[in-house]
Amino acid sequence: MPRFLDDTTNVKRRPAVPVKLAMIVLVALFVSVACASFPAPEIKGIKAWINSEPMTIKGLRGKVVLIDFWTYTCVNCIRTFPYLKQWQAKYADDGLVIIGVHSPEFEFEKDYSNVLQATQDNGITWAVAQDNDFETWRNYGNSFWPAKYLVDKDGKVRYSHFGEGFYYETEKWIRNLLEEAGADLLDNPFEPPGDQQVDQTYLERRNGTVTRELYAGLAMAGLGEYVRQQDFFQNTGSVTQLKSPAEHKSGVLYFDGTWIVGPENTRHGRDTTGYEDVLSVVYSARSVNAVLTSESGQPYTVQVKLDGEFLTDANKGEDITIGPDGASFLVVDEPRMYNVVEAPAYSQDNALTMSSNSDDFGIFAFTFGVYQTGP
């Protein structure tokens, strides 16, 4: 299920119409709403529950319920996890129930074992409902990842927020609704959570930009001009030879060598021995993340370079390993988002290359960040 976004806005939008008819959303979208209350739509169409028996809005009357729409490779969703963990720890005993409605973007995110692994990897202990067919998503008229809806003790939605941030306002609403429900929070003082801190170099850089999220699959590549090689859009689904131009534009994906272009991802088209087939992108950010999978399910390595040099301990991402010979590489052993670059500070027009000898190497998307820490 593709989504439209501008990663600098801290929110992802899923189109309500087929991809080929929709327009790219490139406006800042960062919305928090104390809405006129309305009955909370029911949770329906759930394929599986994790960390909980099935729950319903009707059955949770008397509780305060936080409905959180998310998908596990979404970097904007991942950035909200620390705050959700705090609220779970602070307020679960006072009557807060968090339900993470997992509405998948990519096909592999529909797999129960993948979602279960993601909850374990990220320390998610609250209830997770697999909304694979987007039935609950549609019930709420939702369009974004992440999106939060607060439901009061009477089963009415009283507040909603789309995207990252506004953690102070959201927690204030949690506390207000808990007190309305009869919770005594005198021994649970309000310690306002701060938003994530933006990198100082980025703030000081005149006309600093952050590279948008880039999709590598055919379904989105043409619409967003994420790829601009004409041969990329021909012979899709079969092995094709691609050659990039001498000059690479910022914020565009380039493929050199043998590749297979699919609807959601582009995959390396052969086994090699010398890392001769290369994926390249010029970007502006502090951090870089990549959504990767393995076609066969077997682990493989991806060699990573920045401006022609291997990464170092100073700029490598959390998922990068530095070998004894100084080579930097990823080990892709599960379908998820991998943190590739964590530079000391924001910089512009960095040239990232990734290559693998395995034909399992499959790239779905890149995301970029400018926070002081994290993805």
Reading the chain (375 residues) residue by residue, the pLDDT tens digits are 333 333 445 777 664 433 322 222 323 344 556 556 899 999 999 999 999 999 999 999 999 999 999 999 999 999 999 999 999 999 999 999 999 999 999 999 999 999 999 999 999 999 999 999 999 999 999 999 999 999 999 999 999 999 999 999 999 999 999 999 999 999 998 988 889 999 999 999 988 999 999 999 999 998 899 999 999 999 889 999 999 999 999 999 999 999 999 999 999 999 999 999 999 999 999 999 999 999 899 999 999 999 999 999 999 999 999 999 999 999 999 999 999 999 999 999 999 999 999 999 999 999 999 999 999
Report if residue 106 sits inside a domain: yes
Chain centroid to Cα 356, Å, comes to 23
Whether residue 237 is found in the same domain as residue 126:
no
Query: Of 180, 202, 232, which marks where a domain is finished?
Result: 180
Chain centroid to Cα 259, Å, comes to 25
Report if residue 131 sits inside a domain: yes
Q: Cα dihedral sign for 312, 255, 228, 248?
A: positive
CATH number at residue 107: 3.40.30.10
Whether residue 15 is found in the same domain as residue 147:
yes
Tell me which residue range forms the domain holding 63.
4-180
Whether residue 159 is found in the same domain as residue 226:
no
Whether residue 234 is found in the same domain as residue 362:
yes
**pLDDT given at position 32:** 56
CATH number at residue 239: 2.60.120.260
Report if residue 375 sits inside a domain: no
**pLDDT given at position 29:** 40
Whether residue 240 is found in the same domain as residue 349:
yes
CA distance 331 to 313: 17
* 306, 311, 315, 318 alpha-carbon torsion, rounded to 10°: 110
Query: Of 154, 180, 206, which marks where a domain is finished?
Result: 180
Whether residue 220 is found in the same domain as residue 339:
yes
Place of tokens 């999978």: 293
Report if residue 21 sits inside a domain: yes
Whether residue 238 is found in the same domain as residue 175:
no
Peptide bond into 299 cis (omega under 30): no
User: How far is CA 50 from each of CA 19, 102, 116, 169, rounded to the nearest angstrom?
Assistant: 31, 10, 7, 28
Query: Of 180, 195, 222, which marks where a domain is finished?
Result: 180
Report if residue 108 sits inside a domain: yes
Report if residue 336 sits inside a domain: yes
Tell me the HSE value of 163 on the side-chain side, using a 13 A CA sphere.
19
H-type helices in the chain, by residue range? 75-91, 112-121, 135-139, 167-180, 200-204, 218-221
CB 356 within 8 A of CB 276: no
Report if residue 46 sits inside a domain: yes
Query: What's the number of domains the chain is made of?
Result: 2
**pLDDT given at position 20:** 25
Quote the pTM value. 0.91
CA 265, 269, 275: angle at the middle one, nearest 5?
Answer: 105
Whether residue 164 is found in the same domain as residue 225:
no
